Structure 1
Amino acid sequence: MTRSLVLRKKKVALGNKIFVSLNTIFMIVFVIITLYPVWNTLVLAFNDGTDALRGGLYLWPRKWTFQNFITVVHKNNLLVGACVTVARTVIGTLTALAANALLAYIVSRKRFLFKRQLALFWVITMYVNGGLIPTFLLYKGLGLTNSFLVYVIPGMVGAFNMLVIRTYMSGIPDSLEESAQLDGAGDLVIFTKVISPLCKPVYATIALFCAVGHWNSWFDAMLYNRMNSSLTTLQYELMKLLSSVTNQSTSAESMKNTVAAVTPTSVRAAATILTMLPIVCLYPFLQRYFVTGLTIGGVKG
């Protein structure tokens, strides 16, 4: 019996070692597959555009240059677009977080009578919308076109974000709220002093979602503020830059005759790196909250 138990333990230990080894190999391959496109884009961005036409760029630039980034940075209205994008990201994220958190607090309270009906209503809005043209006409009728508010107001309430926060808040013990009520605290005090400090992980998760959405958005700028250059966004300007560069001649002979040795591929790579850099720098600071907030907010309730 003892010998059988020892053999069984050895088989289990061997199986665990095999699993750990295969899992480690799989994760390494997965990380390489995930990161290599980003690294290759970085290599193309720092490599001479004409030289990149030869191909063979994999792990390191063959001919270093900053001309691709200079071409992107010198684009007209790029600085204005960057300022507008930063402003809409900060303001839009804060207002969206505040609005979603307040609504989530309301529908997460047991004493609220219509919380299930409202939750169902918001779930329906995730799958059904009025369409592009009715939405444009609505925004125009509300005076949101050619306005900075079109970047902020339509995105203040998101059904998915609100439901994630509500699910997280539903897992907070009711005794905390009852204790605050016995001390004479109102709903606003309970929300700001009791509930919100416990919701930092899910708040950070939703803030990251909103920030990435605002930072990467360009379609709304093209639809609603296309004629107002002072309200353009960074992504919209980069999109126009890529479109204009792509429409130019890309032959090797024409590139040799230009002072700035850039190609559509190299400029596109530089624009991609500049676009993703702020979010990449922000993500490490929110990562611990991101994982905790998303997993707990998706399980509890």
Structure 2
Amino acid sequence: MKLSAGDRILKIVIYALLSILAFITFYPFWNSLVLSLNVGFDTSSGGITFWPRQFTLENYAVVFQEKNIYNAYLITILRTVIGTVCALLFTSLFAYAMSKKGIMFKKTYMILAVITMFFSGGIIPYFILVYHLQLYDTFLFLVLHGMVNVYNMIIFRTFFMELPDGLEESAKMDGCSNFGVFFRIVLPVSGPVMATLGLFTAVFLWNDWFIPAVFISNQNLIPLQTLLVQIINAGTTASLMTNLNSYAQSMVQNTVTVKSLQMATMMVATLPILMIYPFLQKYFVKGVLVGSLKE
């Protein structure tokens, strides 16, 4: 179909605006990557925008010489994997129950769940609760925190309500229990919504630094993002070098600055989760929209 002159102009304007928006969104990440690949003392002089002026990998060498970086990586990976699996399992089970008719006090449960989306007890009562449950400074708390998300539960619930009743009826006629129906019938057909909400949960767990900073004092249980914040908060070279070994300290004294090390650590913490997006992108629109067509 041939476009009119007005349609072509509108199309050009739309693409131009989208290109500008994409550039504004992508440039800060690209500039941080460039700064992390440039010699630290040269970065201090400014003027680096799109390409490194003095390319180096010493910033990353110092990052991987940090005492706790590998342990923090392990804690973050374990928390993200285990926490995402548990969150999807328990949230979907809750949502599946809320999608069924005839559940006693179903409306009451939903009201109580929705209230938690708008109101909370605050960080101090939460801290007291966690402490008395003996979850303070434990890896189990990192997994349990945020395991049931009400927003995700509502999306799951709506998706389950759209499934044909015949699927479950035929399974129950073959002798399946409620758990059998859920694990053998419902979950296998919930791939798009599971992938979408699973990625949202994984990104939240990977990026969460505040909760571990408040509830974890053991340095061996500190996740990567919390460690990143500690490095970023090291505003001077002296405060930064207290956490580095002798090899890394010598590199900081010679070429690496606090800013360049901050950029390198940021890239190390961000790139792994970004690499997952392309593999699950196709599920985004389908998964969220399918689960949000009706109440």
What is the match of residue 123 of structure 1?
A: 114
Alignment of 1:132 onto 2:123: yes
What is the match of residue 88 of structure 1?
A: 79
CA deviations 1:238-264 (Å, max 9, x no partner) are 2212222x13379xxxxxx96431222
CA deviations 1:101-157 (Å, max 9, x no partner) are 100100011232433322221111011111111101100100101211110122211
What is the match of residue 274 of structure 1?
A: 268
Deviation at 1:179, TM superposition (A): 2.3
2:284 pairs, out of 279, 284, 290, with 290
Give the TM-score, by structure 1 length.
0.88
Choose 14-23 or 143-152, whichever is displaced more.
14-23
> How many matched pairs?
284
Residues 139-154 of structure 1 mapped to structure 2, 5 A cutoff: 139-154=130-145
Letter in 2 for 1:102: L
2:66 pairs, out of 64, 72, 75, with 75
Deviation at 1:224, TM superposition (A): 1.9
- Assess if the C-alpha contact under 8 Å between 1:93 and 1:211 holds in 2: yes
Instruction: Tell me which structure has the larger Cα radius of gyration.
Output: 1
1:104 pairs, out of 92, 95, 98, with 95
SS in 2 for 1:152: helix
CA RMSD of aligned residues (A): 2.0
CA deviations 1:83-104 (Å, max 9, x no partner) are 1111111111100110001001
**Cα distance between partner residues in 2 of 1:263 and 1:290:** 39
In structure 2, relative to structure 1, the CA distance for the partners of 1:258 and 1:222 (3 Å cut) is closer
SS in 1 for 2:275: helix
**Cα distance between partner residues in 2 of 1:18 and 1:159:** 44
Letter in 1 for 2:265: A
Letter in 2 for 1:146: D
Unaligned runs of 5+ in 1: 1-8, 251-256
SS in 2 for 1:298: coil
**Cα distance between partner residues in 1 of 2:261 and 2:7:** 48
Letter in 1 for 2:212: A
CA deviations 1:15-47 (Å, max 9, x no partner) are 332332222112111111111111111110101
Letter in 2 for 1:248: T
CA deviations 1:147-171 (Å, max 9, x no partner) are 1111012221111111111111111
In structure 2, relative to structure 1, the CA distance for the partners of 1:196 and 1:51 (3 Å cut) is same
1:238 pairs, out of 225, 228, 247, with 228
**Cα distance between partner residues in 2 of 1:32 and 1:292:** 26
- Assess if the C-alpha contact under 8 Å between 1:146 and 1:225 holds in 2: yes
In structure 2, relative to structure 1, the CA distance for the partners of 1:39 and 1:188 (3 Å cut) is same
CA deviations 1:217-254 (Å, max 9, x no partner) are 2222222221x22212111222212222x13379xxxx
2:236 pairs, out of 247, 269, 281, with 247
- Assess if the C-alpha contact under 8 Å between 1:82 and 1:234 holds in 2: yes
In structure 2, relative to structure 1, the CA distance for the partners of 1:268 and 1:43 (3 Å cut) is same
Residues 3-82 of structure 1 mapped to structure 2, 5 A cutoff: 13-82=4-73
**Cα distance between partner residues in 2 of 1:260 and 1:93:** 42
What is the match of residue 229 of structure 1?
A: 219
Unaligned runs of 5+ in 2: 240-250
- Assess if the C-alpha contact under 8 Å between 2:237 and 2:257 holds in 1: no
SS in 1 for 2:256: coil
Deviation at 1:176, TM superposition (A): 1.8
SS in 2 for 1:126: helix
**Cα distance between partner residues in 2 of 1:168 and 1:13:** 41
**Cα distance between partner residues in 1 of 2:263 and 2:143:** 29
- Assess if the C-alpha contact under 8 Å between 1:43 and 1:60 holds in 2: yes
1:179 pairs, out of 170, 181, 186, with 170
What is the match of residue 254 of structure 1?
A: none
**Cα distance between partner residues in 2 of 1:109 and 1:270:** 49
1:167 pairs, out of 145, 158, 171, with 158
Percent identity over paired residues:
38
**Cα distance between partner residues in 2 of 1:229 and 1:53:** 31
What is the match of residue 192 of structure 2?
A: 201
Residues 203-218 of structure 1 mapped to structure 2, 5 A cutoff: 203-218=194-209
**Cα distance between partner residues in 2 of 1:186 and 1:224:** 40
